[in-house]
Amino acid sequence: MKTFPKQLSIWQRLHLYWQLMLRAILHIWVRSKVLPEPVTDTGLKDDVPTCYIMDTYSLSSLLILDKACEKHSLSRPLFPLENGDRVGSRSWASLRRLKGLLLRRYTNRRSSDMLKMLTQYAQDHPDFEVQLVPVTVLIGRAPDKEESITKIMFSESWEIAGRLRRLFSTLINGRNTFVYYGKPFSLREMVDEKASAGKAVRKISRLARTQIRKTREASIGPDLSHRRTLLNKVLDSERVQAAIAVKAKKDKISPEKARRLAEKSIREIAANYSYSAVKIGSLILTWFWNKLYKGVELNHFKAFEEMAPGKEIIYVPCHRSHIDYLMMSYLLYHHGHVPPHIAAGVNLNMPGVGQFLRRGGAFFMRRSFRSNPLYAAVFDEYLTLILSQGVSIEYFIEGTRSRTGRLLPPKAGMLQMTVRAYMRVPTKPIIFQPVYIGYEQLVEGNSYISELGGKEKKSESLKDFLGLFKVLRKNYGQAHVNFGEPILLDDMLEKAAPDWRSQNPEEKPRWLSSMVDELANTIMTNINRTADVNPINLLAICLLASTKHTLAEDQLEQLLELYLNTLKGAPLSSRVTITDLSPVEIIGYGIELGVIEKREHTLGDIIAVSDNAGVLLTYFRNNVSHLFALPSFIASCFQMQSEISRSRLQSLFHSLYPYMRSELFLPWDRADADKALLNNIDALKSLNLIAGRRTLKRASGGSETAASLNLMGRGMLQTFQRYFITIAVLVKNGSGVLTRGELEKLCTLTAQRISMLHEFDAPEFYDKTLFRQFINNLTKASVLRRDEDGKLTFDEVLESVTNDAKLLMTKELRHGIIQIASEKI
């Protein structure tokens, strides 16, 4: 409405003039942004009178709202309703009001006078209609523009703001103001639905309050200011009380002492979320990222935002680095979402650092607490409580950072606790959000190499965190964060047990463990399905396949082009993202980051891995090795022969795929894997690397395409060698001789010796985790069995592996492995 309302009395006009004058003064400084944009996305109708509903009355908020409405040609809250009826002198209502000059507190009124008047009028006049629009005005909610600690201290929060604080908040953060318009609902429908005006008012208030609360939670996070109340709720819960009683009886201590132990545990565990700490952390991290990275690229986030409303979010990223914690919280905060509570190891609860992390949303957990039922009960109850409050959570189901670049076998402990917590209190539907995090350089790279080489992992210390600033001297390229396909927990539960809601949530059902294992595997698979392929990944795959980690520049360009085309010709998933750089640009980028170097030569320049970078490059190769697993397998079948029948290749694939799938978290079941194999065969044929139908052939040995195919085939070679080492050690020692632990140790020693003799120069080749995983898979497939003494037994099935190995490895290498394979020490 642009014209001044005529139906007001002289006193109402003077009051309106006074408000408009204050509004003009206020907006000398205040600048607001309206969300959503355009406002019509909420369903607001131009031809229906509008009444805006605020949670708590504030003159500054009302004036900011009026200015925003005028700017977007909407009905004005300061003016009467535009419907010809004279129902009040304004078009706004507030659910609550504050009283007190200095010590502000809520009044005791039960409902809004304006809403009561509107509903009563609507009940008396059947044709009277108004659209009710919940609105939220937040001053200081613009994380990308906060530049000082002063601004942060006076930004929006859940605390009751006094007049003086509101004044300072407006002066300091006024240019970072947001006006959120909620989804409108019909006054007419509310009145027609309820028998009395009073009931209609209560429903209107409830609907508006819910919308406003959700808006505030999405923007500044849930109200977590009552930490002491939350801790007391945990301690007073039935489960914790029962655990306290058991502890007192078992250890013969007083109930009071047992309660103090429980209280000590919950204080060790619980986060102490502070919006100010988060915002100060945002300032520090903005500076830190600008120094450390050229940029942070976020993909597939919009799809997540479309699904997230009304859901409880559990973020489950892969774990590459300590930077992961900071990266996730920073990105979510800067995209308008509340940073999650993060499950962190108690080793990070160091003096000073622990308190800061705790205020940023970290809650701490011990690595194992099976032997401490009281701690387990306290942790379980805390997790249940924060989930029921709608707090988003983040944890790493790998349990630790990957030292090899591959995804680690998931640990299901936190997943199982989360599922059981939801089964006890199924409030909002839970979605697990897989996230792939990829780097072009690693902050912890050198320590990873040392640990893989046999050095013990150092415990984190304050010195390590202070040492982070030393890394700012190096160029770490870009970071890449991809959101994967989310997993709805309800769907998993319905599939496992359609009647799960009627079961006793305090009893662990038999089907739970297998369901959680499937959930964990699905999460890891979805992480790999949304991988990012950056320039360093591609350089690592190409150069590490060569004998001396060097290639002619033109050959490297051709190989890079080949890998890029293979990815596009047979993509693992539509969510996989690939660098936009050309092969020439990729090489230039690698030189800029210092991971490769160009050596000039008269006959053509050589590209080589930089000194000491070779071992670390295996990490970046392993990040994306799953994407090239099938083309690399196909290419490896031509290492020892120039042709192979399609049926023989498929037979070999069927033998190896279950182990490849488990190690690399590949997405296909048996039937889909066959289709994927055929797609990759077609992709390699389209690139002229192979030809034929029933019999597949490669080009002659001296050709460029044969050389490229040979290099591609080496991508999975070390994986197949580990498989063969395990079989060779088993066969050499015999059935019923080795325990699982002994087999793991002998395989690791054998691989380590082969690595030293054959100059693989890759500690991850003899990583015991990979051998343990393969041995587990052999056991699951009943290839290996345990006798009553715990010894591993097997039959002649293993002999077929020797024949398969002839297709994939040279005779020299096969015999070398058999010769070196260790016997029981």
Rounded to whole angstroms, how far apart are CA atoms 224 and 742?
Answer: 50
Q: How confident is the model at residue 68 (pLDDT cuts 50, 70, 90)?
A: very high
CA angle at 126 for the pair 123 and 131, rounded to the nearest 5°: 80
Residue with the two structure tokens 């407006």:
170
What pLDDT does 225 receive?
54
Whether 72 has a pLDDT exceeding 70, the answer reads yes
Is the preceding omega at residue 309 within 30 degrees of 0, hence cis? Answer: no
Least confident of 97-111, 299-313, 414-428, 523-537: 97-111
Grade residue 177 by pLDDT with cuts at 50, 70 and 90: confident
Averaged pLDDT for residues 129-145: 76
Indicate whether 53 pLDDT > 80: yes
Confirm if 630 and 680 have CB atoms less than 8 A apart: yes
pLDDT for 462 beyond 60: no
Report the 10 Å Cβ neighbour count for 491. 11
Report the pLDDT value the prediction gives residue 237, as an integer from 0 to 100. 93
Q: What is the pLDDT of residue 444?
A: 81
Least confident of 3-12, 107-116, 515-524, 781-790: 3-12
Three-state secondary structure call for residue 290: helix
- Residue 253 pLDDT > 60, yes or no? yes
Closest listed residue to residue 412, CA positions, set 316, 478, 326, 338: 316
* pLDDT above 60 (res 156): no
Q: How much is the pLDDT for 217?
A: 75
Q: Per-residue pLDDT averaged across 655-678, rounded?
A: 94
Place of tokens 């490229």: 708
| Torsion from C-alpha of 494, 496, 498, 502, nearest 10 degrees | -100
Write the single-letter amino acid at 620.
F
Query: Residue 186 and residue 815: Cα distance in Å, rounded?
Result: 81
Helix (H), strand (E) at residue 660: helix 646-664
How many residues belong to the chain?
825
Q: Can you say whether the dihedral through the CA atoms of 204, 207, 210, 213 is positive or negative? A: negative
CATH of segment(s) 272-528: 3.40.1130.10
pLDDT confidence band for 637 (50 / 70 / 90)? very high
**Which range is least confidently modeled, 158-172, 578-592, 706-720, 735-749?**
158-172
Burial of 118 (0-12, 13-18, 19+ CB in 10 A): buried
Q: Domain 716-820 is in which class?
A: mainly alpha
Mean pLDDT in residue range 655-682 = 94
Q: What is the pLDDT, as a whole number, of residue 334? A: 87
Q: 551 forms bridges with which residues in the sheet?
A: 607
Cβ pair 158, 225 in contact under 8 A: yes
Mean pLDDT to the nearest integer, 153-174: 58
pLDDT at residue 150 greater than cutoff 70: no
Report d(CA 70, CA 538) in Å as an integer.
Answer: 54
pLDDT confidence tier of residue 769, bands split at 50, 70 and 90? confident
In the chain, pLDDT over 70 holds for what percent of residues? 88
| Residue 350 pLDDT exceeds 90 | no
| pLDDT confidence band for 106 (50 / 70 / 90) | low
Residue 459 CB neighbours (<10 A): 8
Please tell me the predicted confidence (pLDDT) of residue 222. Answer: 62
Domain range summary for the chain, segments of one domain joined by +: 10-220, 272-528, 535-714, 716-820
- Give the separation between CA 311 and CA 314, rounded to whole angstroms: 9
Query: Quick one: pLDDT band at residue 6, thresholds 50, 70, 90?
Result: low
265-297 per-position pLDDT tens digit? 999 999 988 777 787 888 888 888 888 899 899
DSSP 255-300: HHHHHHHHHHHHHHH-----HHHHHHHHHHHHHHHHHH-SEEEEES
The two structure tokens encoding residue 166: 């509101």
For residue 218, how many C-alpha atoms fall within 13 Å in the half-sphere facing its CB? 18
Share of the chain above pLDDT 90, in %: 52
Which residue has better confidence, 624 or 72?
A: 624
Strands 643-645 and 695-698: antiparallel
Neighbours of 195 (CB within 10 A): 8
User: How far apart are the two ends of the chain, measured CA to CA in Å?
Assistant: 90
pLDDT-derived band at 142, boundaries 50, 70, 90: very low
pLDDT, one tens digit per residue, over 719-740 is: 999 999 999 999 889 899 999 9
Torsion of CA 289, 362, 333, 210, to 10 degrees: 180
Instruction: Summarize the confidence of residues 109-115 as an average pLDDT.
Output: 81
The better pLDDT of the pair 612, 342 is held by 342
- As given in the structure block, the two tokens for residue 4 are 């001044």
Average pLDDT of the chain to the nearest whole number? 86
Return d(Cα 35, Cα 711) in angstroms, integer: 53
Q: With bands split at pLDDT 50, 70 and 90, how would you rate the model's confidence at 342?
A: very high
Q: Are 83 and 128 in contact (CB under 8 A)?
A: yes
Mean per-residue pLDDT, 514-518: 96
At 625, the pLDDT band (50, 70, 90 cuts) reads very high
* Strand ranges in 275-320 using DSSP code E only, listed in sequence order: 295-299, 312-317
How would you list the strands of the sheet with 643-645, edge to edge? 643-645, 695-698, 690-691
146: confidence class by pLDDT, cuts 50, 70, 90: very low
Coil, helix or strand for 20? helix
Identify the residue whose tokens are 């109340």.
229
d(CA 732, CA 727): 8
Q: Looking at residue 107, what is its pLDDT?
A: 63
Query: Residue holding tokens 């392993």?
Result: 622
Partners of 98 in beta bridges: 106
Question: What DSSP element (H or E) covers 483?
Answer: strand 478-483
Strand duo 550-552 + 606-609: pairing: antiparallel
State residue 584's pLDDT score.
Answer: 97
In this chain, the answer to whether the domains covering 272-528 and 716-820 adopt an identical fold is no
pLDDT for 1: 45
User: Is the CA virtual torsion 73, 75, 80, 82 positive or negative?
Assistant: positive
**Mean pLDDT lowest for which of 145-149, 304-308, 367-371, 630-634?**
145-149
DSSP conformation class of 763 = G
Using the structure block, give the residue that is written with the tokens 């809601």: 501
Residue 697 pLDDT level (bands cut at 50, 70, 90): very high
Quick one: which of 487, 428, 382, 490 has its CA closest to 214?
428
Is residue 369 exposed (0-12), middle (13-18) or buried (19+ Cβ within 10 Å)?
Answer: middle
Give the helix/strand (H/E) hosting 556: helix 553-569
Give the residue among 241, 230, 329 at the shortest CA–CA distance from 282: 329
**What is the dihedral sign for C-alpha 678, 679, 680, 684?**
positive
Residue 628's pLDDT band, with cuts at 50, 70 and 90, is very high
pLDDT at 111 over 80: no
Using the predicted structure, report yes or no on whether residue 619 has a pLDDT greater than 70. yes
What is the token pair recorded at 372?
């401490």
Lowest mean pLDDT among 63-67, 443-447, 766-770: 443-447
Cα dihedral sign, 500-505-511-517: positive
Print burial letters for 571-610: b (CB count within 10 Å at least 16), e (below 16). Answer: ebeebbbbbebebeebbebbeebebbeeeeeeeeebbbbb
CA dihedral 161, 165, 168, 174 (to 10 degrees): 0
Instruction: Tell me how far apart the alpha carbons of residues 639 and 655 are, in angstroms, rounded to a whole number.
Output: 18
pLDDT digits (tens, 9 = 90+) for 646-664: 999 999 999 999 999 999 9
pLDDT of residue 144: 40
